């Protein structure tokens, strides 16, 4: 039972943004106190929320091996909980990651202004690396494949291109960093991006 209570639960704020990971023991305490609800993914991909009483009845109605037993009843360990009052993201420095650059630039090519799927966008060094351009907030922008190919290993001026806005470090924190060394449950996938998007960027960026 102790092992089950130490399992990891994803915590969402009331805006359904991932803000933390806690233990199942803490999640059940918040649920019992009325500070949180369980977020449960149904078979059709939709989500349903449960308060403590509803989750207790659901656990009794649909027994599950990942449950803990109290003196009088069994209750299923939640995988995602939703805080009912907390709507802030922790105030920390904005981490320099792919995800956060795409968030800052709103998935929009900073040369032509076209919004694309992330798979159709690259990260571009405004001043090329071999010209001394750093891998930093102020020198990395989203670029569509066509503009990235056109610019090649040149400055925007040399390529006859212009940035639609000057890149800079954001003051907000678009995504709370989850510890990706933790085991992630499948039900977390809807709420957090793959680790690829949240690894601190280094000099290996194209």
Average pLDDT over residues 49-67: 91
Order of all β-strands in the sheet with 36-41 = 18-23, 8-12, 80-83, 36-41, 47-50
Q: Taking the model in full, what pTM does it have?
A: 0.51
First to last CA, the chain: 47
Q: 28 and 69, same structural domain? A: yes
Q: 125 and 83, same structural domain? A: no
- The total domain count for the chain is 2
Question: 194 pLDDT exceeds 50?
Answer: no
In a domain, 205, yes or no: no
pLDDT at 71: 75
**39 phi, psi to nearest 5 deg:** -105, 120
Please compute, for residue 166, the number of CA atoms within 13 A of its CA located in the half-sphere on the CB side.
1
Write down the mean pLDDT value for the chain.
84
Q: Which residue has the higher pLDDT, 100 or 188?
A: 100
Q: Which residue has the higher pLDDT, 95 or 144?
A: 144
Q: 28 and 84, same structural domain? A: yes
Domain that holds residue 83: 2-90+176-193
Contacting residues for 138 by C-beta, under 8 A, at least 6 apart? 167, 168, 169
Contacting residues for 15 by C-beta, under 8 A, at least 6 apart? 87
pLDDT at 176: 47
Q: 164 and 125, same structural domain? A: yes
Instruction: Give pLDDT tens digits for 4-16.
Output: 888 889 888 888 8
Instruction: Give pLDDT tens digits for 143-160.
Output: 999 999 999 999 999 999
Confidence band of 171 (pLDDT split at 50, 70, 90): confident
Q: Which of 98, 113, 122 is nearest to 193 (CA)?
A: 98
Question: 179 pLDDT exceeds 60?
Answer: no
Q: Which residue has the higher pLDDT, 64 or 193?
A: 64
Share of the chain above pLDDT 70, in %: 82
């Amino acid at each position: 039972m102790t092992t089950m209570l130490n399992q990891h639960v994803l915590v969402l704020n009331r805006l359904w943004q991932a803000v933390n990971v806690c233990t199942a023991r803490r999640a059940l305490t918040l649920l019992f106190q009325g500070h949180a609800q369980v977020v449960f993914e149904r078979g059709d991909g939709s989500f349903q929320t449960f308060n403590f009483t509803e989750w207790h009845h659901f656990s009794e109605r649909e027994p599950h091996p990942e449950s803990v037993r109290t003196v009088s009843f069994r209750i299923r360990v939640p995988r995602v909980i939703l805080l009912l009052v907390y709507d802030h993201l922790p105030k920390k420095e904005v981490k320099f990651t792919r995800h956060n650059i795409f968030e800052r630039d709103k998935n929009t090519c900073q040369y032509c202004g076209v919004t694309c799927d992330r798979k159709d966008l690259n990260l571009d060094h405004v001043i090329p690396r071999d010209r001394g351009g750093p891998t930093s907030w102020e020198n990395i922008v989203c670029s569509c494949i066509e503009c990235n190919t056109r610019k090649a290993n040149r400055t925007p001026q040399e390529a006859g291109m212009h940035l639609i806005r000057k890149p800079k470090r954001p003051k907000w924190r678009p995504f709370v960093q989850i510890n990706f060394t933790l085991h992630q449950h499948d039900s977390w996938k809807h709420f957090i991006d793959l680790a690829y998007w949240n690894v601190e960027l280094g000099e290996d960026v194209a």
